[in-house]
Amino acid sequence: MQEDAVGIVLAGGGSRRLAELNLGPAGKAGLVVGGATCLERVCRAVGSVVPRVLVVAAAGQPLPGLLAEVEIVRDASLAGGPLAGLRDGLRQAVGREPPPRWAFVTSCDAPLLSAAVVRLLFKLARSSAARVVVPLVDGHRQVLVSVMACDLLGSIEATVAVGGGVRAMVDRLTASEPAAVRLVAAEEIVAVDPDLGSFLDIDTPEDLARLTIRGFPPSR
């Protein structure tokens, strides 16, 4: 167990590219995959690695299938995006003594997230000078399956204030302190997640089809 770490699960997205499916007020968080909601599956994977899991959700958004010990944080900014949600989660996380050193950050729509990937990213963070550890899969930085130092809260707040997102915050950090960002090649990850299922996030109907092909047909 990563005792000096927390998990922050972002659940407040609008699911606009899946609007035709009428997912309901819970959005993608309420999709059932393999007998459990996406949110429940993600929280279970993260909670097996860290002692504290915070779910950041929109005001009034129902959150199905949560364990009692999961903390709920409501978005302070309407439609503020993932970085604003991360800011709100980190603010609550560091308000408890002793404040955590690390946060694993993910979205609720990665139902095949592997606890082994979470552990690997923490291991890489602790064995390097990095303050952000980001997988690089299919040529894209997977910023919503990453580990970040909690002391980046100030930088995150500053980026949100100028309308930037998670990638903008990572870009700023890379420019000012290159060694602070550790990119993790897919080749490093396949040892613990051979088919890279942890990075199959649900944004489009095509993503739902890919889940079905893998043997996890989603339902509502």
What's the CATH number where 34 sits?
3.90.550.10
Domains contained in the chain, number: 1
Q: Which long-range contacts (CB under 8 A, 24 or more apart) does 136-139 make?
A: 136/183, 136/184, 136/185, 136/186, 137/186, 137/189, 137/196, 137/199, 138/186, 138/199
71-85, 111-125, 173-187: segment of lowest average pLDDT: 71-85
pLDDT at site 132: 98
Average pLDDT taken over every residue of the chain? 90
122 lies in some domain: yes
What average pLDDT does range 140-166 have in this prediction? 95
Share of the chain above pLDDT 90, in %: 69
219 lies in some domain: no
220 lies in some domain: no
Domain that residue 147 falls in: 5-213
177 lies in some domain: yes
- What is the H or E stretch that residue 144 is in? none
pLDDT at site 84: 94
218 lies in some domain: no
Q: Is the pTM above the cut of 0.85? A: yes
